[in-house]
Amino acid sequence: MENKKVLKSGEFLVAETDPQNVFIPEEFNEEQLMIAQSCRDFLEAEVYPVMADLEKSNRELMKSILKKSGELGLTGIPVPEEFGGFGQSFVTQMLVAEAIGAGYSFSVAYMAHSGIGTLPIVYYGNDYQRQHYVPKLAVAEYIGSYCLTEPGAGSDANAGKTNAVPSEDDKYYILNGQKIWATNAGYADTLIVFAKIENDRVLSAFIVESKYPGVVIGPDEHKMGIKGSSTTQIYFNDVKVPVENLLGKRGEGFRIALNILHMGRIKLGASVLGAAKKAITDSVKYANERKQFGVLISTFGAVKHKLAEQVIKLFSTESAVYRVSKDIDDMMNKLKVDCVDTGRASIEAISHYAVEAAILKVFGSEMLDFVADEAVQIFGGMGYSAEMDVERGYRDSRINRIFEGTNEINRLLVVDTAMKKAMKGDFDLFGKAEALFNELDKITPDEVKEEQYFEEKSRYISNFKKVILVCIHVAVKKFERKLIYEQEILNNIADMMMETYVSESLSLRVARLETMKDDITVYKDILDVNIYDTAEIIRKSACDAIFSFDTDKDNAQVIKAIDILTRVKGINVKAARRRIADKLIEDNSYRF
């Protein structure tokens, strides 16, 4: 992959990717696999045996487990070696996020600490801040928390009222305000706090130690799920924050918050993989033990359908997660050549892929919700019992559609960010969309006589992209600057973009697997069903968007093109799903 072209964020809409230029999970090296196994071993030894106690809001227990993970080096995976960490690649960081993601509320505490609680200082801190705080955070001597949301400022973070005023001697900022939904705050040592300095219109960021006088930590919130995670309100009453604890530049807080959210979103896309794999393994083990009408329920076609759908959605999501993870690694290496500050180069590389981060956040969280829900259904009445892990997994999964910006916000970001990047000249979205629209009358049913398997899939995916481009062109032409207010239409386009990116990632992965495995029949089954289902999702989303416009003479031609471009060859989905389920049932755990 030496000559790999690194696509810009959103560029997948107008570019083709060579399968040899993508990274797939089957390529993890021995060291990466050992790190991931260490994470899984830690969950088995330290987390699962005490989950019931953790869910009683036992702050000290969660803190002690976090510190144990730090002693083993798990919290230092993303931290550069010069600050006491292991400086692992972004792909490895994502693999760790996946492995820890099976840890229920511990995974939330861990990710909050090692991610948004530590990395803002790694990425934006000055030399003093990095040297003073990061080594302690890297080994969990200090526990970190992130304080952005306020009672009146959720998705609109810049509406926050928390204020900082320079002291008369200019040695401190006097901080006043309130934060809510602060993960780990019940036992955190350092808080990343966002506030406006004086009458600034935009936020600044500060490193605040919880021991500072005037910092008041509220009791843990009672939540639907992730009950073991400490989530509190924090009050700042005339807190004196040393001026050297201003993180980044004055007024840079909003940019810091947005970029850290990009990181949080993409890592959430990895953590849900671990939770989903555990839920699927729990599902098939139960199906292989539970008998009804004298036979195992794993022999029932309806149950096999559920198991197969769990696998298809997870395997597809995983393909997209590690595809973009390697793209980020490549972008990091590229930016570090030109940037003296490697921390800022790292976060710029992550934030560069804002479109894909939003895609993975939405798609991954909704995938996990589906998998967790089906796990409960496979367990039947027992799935509703608090005795079973799937009950906890079901409750815990729901927060992911709210975390790191709601899925509603992120769906809008998928489209808006891609279009803004195109306007900046990152790639030619609008030119290609207009050219395609102007030749709609030339779009006719494909007449393919001889076509290889992956050529066919590539053609389908290319056609899906054409549908997206046509819809974007028509929507922009119709609404111009007012398109931002047409959220339903933007959601239609976002759904098409997400499904297409994931399907393409899956197709590229399976194409790679053909060169690595003797028999990839079951993986082709996964791809076949995915493409078959995606075509219908694309068709409906596109038609929903177009039919939302005022009826005009162009609609009939556009709808005809959509129908043609979303036609795919019929497959025996029942047989394909049964083969997928049979492998899962035979393995008795997720081993795809």
What are the structural domains, with CATH classification, of the chain? Answer: 145-247 (2.40.110.10), 422-587 (1.20.140.10)
- pLDDT higher than threshold 50 for residue 1: no
The predicted structure's pLDDT at residue 506: 98
Phi, psi of 4 (to 5 degrees): -65, 135
Is the pLDDT at 236 greater than 50? The verdict is yes
pLDDT of 553: 62
In three-state secondary structure terms, 499 is: helix
Strand, helix or coil for residue 234: strand
What letters, b where the CB count within 10 A reaches 16 and e where it falls short, cover 306-332? bbbbbbbbbbbbbbbbbbbbbbbbbbb
Stretch 460-476: mean pLDDT: 96
Q: Which residues are catalytic?
A: 404
User: Counting runs of H as helices and runs of E as strands, what totals does the chain give?
Assistant: 19, 10
CA atoms within 13 A on the CB side of 288: 16
Residues 6+ apart with CB under 8 A from 239: 174, 175, 176, 208, 212, 213, 214, 215
Cβ-based neighbour number of residue 161 at 10 Å: 13
Query: What is the structure's pLDDT at 443?
Result: 86
Mean pLDDT of 361-386: 97
Give the pLDDT confidence score for residue 450 in this predicted structure: 81
For 435-457, write each residue's pLDDT tens digit: 999 998 888 887 767 889 999 99
Q: Is the pLDDT of residue 4 over 70?
A: no
Other beta carbons within 10 Å of 337: 7
Taken as a whole, the chain contains a residue count of 592
In contact, 364 and 274? CB cutoff 8 Å = no
Q: What is the pLDDT of residue 420?
A: 95
> For 115, which DSSP code?
I
How far is residue 69 CA from its own chain's centroid? 23
Of 90, 172, 506, whose CA–CA distance to 320 is shortest?
Answer: 506
CA-based radius of gyration for the chain? 24
Phi, psi (deg, nearest 5) at residue 550: -65, 140
Lowest mean pLDDT among 147-156, 394-403, 470-479: 147-156
What would the DSSP string read from start to end of 323-390? HHHHHHHHHHHHHHHH-S-HHHHHHHHHHHTHHHHHHHHHHHHHHHHHHHHHHHHHHGGGGGSTTSHH
Mean pLDDT computed over every residue of the chain: 95
Beta-strand pair 163-166/190-197: parallel
pLDDT digits (tens, 9 = 90+) for 530-559: 999 999 999 999 999 999 986 666 688 899
Ramachandran region, residue 162 (left: φ > 0; alpha: ψ -120 to 50; beta: rest): beta
Q: Report pLDDT digits (tens) over 209-221.
A: 999 999 999 999 9
| pLDDT reported for residue 167 | 96
Q: Which two tokens stand for residue 98?
A: 């996946």
d(CA 306, CA 317): 17
Angle between helices 429-437 and 453-479 (to 10 degrees): 90
Are 437 and 511 in contact, with CB atoms under 8 Å apart? no
Lowest mean pLDDT, pick from 238-252, 328-342, 466-480: 328-342
Nearest 10 degrees: Cα torsion 560, 563, 569, 570: -130
Determine the average pLDDT of the residues in 414-443.
93
Using the predicted structure, report yes or no on whether residue 114 has a pLDDT greater than 60: yes
Query: Does 26 score more than 70 pLDDT?
Result: yes
